[in-house]
Homo-oligomer: A and B are copies of this chain.
Amino acid sequence: MRVTQQDIAKIASVSQATVSRVLAGDEKVEPEIRKRVTEVMRAHNYQPDVRARQLRSRRTGLIGLVLNRPAGGLGEDPFFSALVADILDFLRDHPYHLCLDMVTSEAGQTAIYDDMLRSRRVDGLILVESEARDHRIARLQQDKFPFVLIGNPLTGDEISSVDNDNVAAAELATRHLLDQGFRRVGILGARRGVTVSDDRIAGYQRAIRGRQHDHLIWHGDFGSRAAQEVAQTILADCSRPDAMVVLDDFMAMGVVGAARKAGLRLPNDLGLVSFNDSNLCDLIDRGLSSVSLRMPELVKAACDRLLRIIEERPIDGPHRLIIPTELRVRGSSQRMEAA
């Protein structure tokens, strides 16, 4: 059996309540007693049981993050690693741990949210990849469960969210390509309903208004392989685009692969701008232009908010916080004269 507060109390000849106070750093414990108890604790290698503590204090010290991905489709995704890495970076300085789950289906989503919230497995949730009419959000609000959304809540509700202005970012990226002299700029997004994709497509449309007649919009799945397949079809067409905005770097890498196979060279045959500004951008010749989402800042802000909500501390700033984006121009979007 492991050593409990009861044991420590007996050995130190104090009450169990006092041991608890020492542990909590209660000021009104005699220094001498505190010292004695502390020593007994160390001598017997005592460690409080988080489970008992959780039951009593109604806090788990866990933050939940549920990802929605097809089986095996996670390793492909640099957004995911950046997200998780930045969350972990943040939590390192805070007394919380990350509880990570992945589900494949919408039904699974709901079930796991039940498992995590209603059963109080975690103190709060970070939501990502919100889709229009997100069922999770209504449920969370109804249960008054602490959560923060990374993305666009699509409502005027008092939902705490942190996001980029994806419409503006895509508009800027598209304009940049048009300004570089590209004439048939297209956009490759995810399936309809994925908020971040919809937002960026909206930005694209805003940018080409009056400057380009055809709306060249494609919907693909996440991942470089899926993107490569879609891109092969796109680029094989005789009315193919001469530049593309792509939803993320990894999909863009698929497009790069497809371009290579099609014998098209970047940037003159195909201009490219994508999103995330991950380290993948340095892996192709002359670099891949990409919009930085400033994930570390964004995630930090999101986590800070979530912890405030959980701990019932006041929140500064608006419910919906916008982190500015930044277009990092590299070779893939800069037309070269000496073509």
Contacts and interface: CB of A to CB of B under 8 A. Distances in A.
Interface of A: 45, 47-52, 54-55, 58, 60-62, 67, 71-78, 80-82, 84-86, 88-89, 91-92, 97-104, 108, 114, 118-121, 224-225, 250, 253, 256-257, 260, 278-280, 282-285, 296
**How many copies of this chain?**
2
Nearest to A72: B89
B120 A92 contact: no
Contacts of A47: 114, 118-119
Nearest to A67: B88
Contact of A282 (B54, B77, B108, B257): B257
A97 B97 contact: no
B88 A51 contact: no
5 contacts: A55-B55, A84-B84, A92-B102, A97-B101, A97-B121
Contacts of A279: 75-76, 224-225, 250
Contact of A296 (B72, B88, B98, B108): B72
Closest 9 pairs (CB-CB, A-B): A74-B85, A47-B118, A88-B102, A75-B85, A81-B81, A75-B82, A50-B119, A51-B54, A51-B55
A48 B114 CA distance: 11
A22 to B, nearest CB: 17
Nearest to A284: B283
B97 A98 contact: no
A49 B60 CA distance: 12
B74 A88 contact: yes
B86 A75 contact: yes
Most buried by B among A55, A60, A75, A253: A75
